[in-house]
Chain A
Amino acid sequence: MSAEPDTEAGDVATPSGDAASENGPPIPDPESVDDEGYVIGSGRSGIVRRIGHDDFDPVGTLVLIAIYMVIVGAMWIFMYFVEFLGGDLTVIG
């Protein structure tokens, strides 16, 4: 298992109430923390920097969905023209 439990690594941690503020993670009590000190839902405890709205360009998303679009386009053309039109007994009337 990973050597360093990350709950106290939240260097951005500031004592936060339970309001929907988005700064540091709550300090979970000992017995709720499992073997590697990970509390479900505490993805933000690994935050190392804050990215605001204006300086975030989801370039990775663009790459992923471009790949998805290419795959869908190619598969559609293959399914329609090779698998379907290339098939037998196509209904024509």
Chain B
Amino acid sequence: MIIKGGIVYDPANGIFGEEMDLFVDKGRMVEQAKGEEIDAHGLLVMPGGVDAHSHIAGKKVNTGRIMRPDDSRLGTEPRTGTCRPSTGYTVPNCYAIGYRYARMGYTTAFEAATPILEARHTHEELEEIPIIDKGALTLFGNNWQVMECIRNNDMDMLAAYMAWGLRSARGYGVKIVNPGGGEAWGFGGNVKGLDDPVPNFDVTPAEIIRGLAQANEMLRLPHSIHLHLNNLGKPGNYNTAIETLDLLKDIRPGRMRQVVHITHMQFSAYGGSSWRDFESKAPVIADYFNSHHHATMDMGQLLFGSATTMTADAPLEYGNARLTHNKWSNHDIELEESSGVVPMVYSRKMLVNAVQWAVGLELALLVADPWKILMTTDHPNGSPFVNYPEVISLLISKPKRDAEMALMHDQVQNRTSLSGIERELDWTDIVIMTRAAPARILGLQDKGHLGPGADADITIYNLMPEELDASQNHDLVKKALACAKYTIKGGAVVSKDGQILSTPPGRTFWVDAAVPQDDADRLMPELEEKFAKYYSVQLSNYAVQDAYLPHAQVIRAGLSVESLKEVA
């Protein structure tokens, strides 16, 4: 396949809007090829979108569907010759997830939080999502074995357990959610901060985070720890964010990348002491990121309208439910995690929501280096992913932001810095934040760029970047981004002008990390005891069987892998 004459943005390879031809063969980018020609003259061409943080599969997503038939009835599309039926807006069914990402030009999305015990379910759903490539981050931050290793200061066994957990879960990376708080929630409590000990376990959230970060780098995993901070969603929590970032700045990365990815930062960049004096601290957070280089983040942008909050931060969800008087699902996972789901409507008229909306945008506009911040909405917590074009059009257009702010509470001006920010992101920034950076941050070498050997995941939008004033024509941009002219996945056109043309199954990435045998041998008796005494399932029935990943893509990591890029 040849894609002719597009204006190509491939910032990972130093290409910033050059007219050039692209060549595809056997699903990969190559130097030269023949075959079908796609005319992209003057059109915006970039790698397929990569979503590094989205709740798309597993128990809590399905709980969202089951408790929200009111949402499932939205966005219903009938079965066609090519497509299975679609349902839902904030909690779309599996098919809709695949089709809607593909229509938008996205070709990869990572499920953000899976407990090991319930990973089988996550993979059942991931496999059912058509078209896009996937992976799932595995939860470790409230795990008994993790906390015990850290308490015993046994980093080797911790690394061995993480490798075992990732293998058991067929997981891609280490997710930490409100470390310690999920365990405390087992008896209805929470942790208040980094140094608040976890009841019954004699470790602190700070120790859990540091321990997991260190072991993550010992294992040289492709991705760093992926952290949902303590105190998320609370006024004044920016202090926790800064303290946590400081806690990790001396850790040596095992690969050439960040040592921590802070997820949905918007929910953790708040000042004030209560909802009354609630304000943005995005500038402080952005300053920190501008002056430090060990951390990355994603926005977790909030948009007005309907959302379904779902997170392993169960105490937060209980608070959400009490606050909004909405339906509440909770799910504690023995020895490992807790979680919750609460529907939500964000309103322009609510000052708190309007400030939250501004915080996400401030972060993206005030962090100078787009490689450090990804565009996400923490789907479906801040907004469903189908609204990414809205987020992008806000980032590229100061007039659009001003028009929006004019509809909001006056106080938004005083409590955020957004109205004073002139910056408008350009296409290079956008392509980095939605393609190149998520792939690099996740450690996906063949994603997010169009160099030879890369996966032939390409998006062509019906926009003329050289002729268009994106800032003034933000509506046009939004419309075009919602519906790619072409989405090419693995070298096949999967979507054209919003119509799904083919539905190949996507692959699922997981990480198999090697550890020294004696560490694994020391670990097993401890695990056997845990299963004999505490788990409600047998050890032999615990791990995800290969039958659930018929399209697996294994990435090797670990202590004995030599071929990895070393960090000097």
Say if A and B assemble together: no
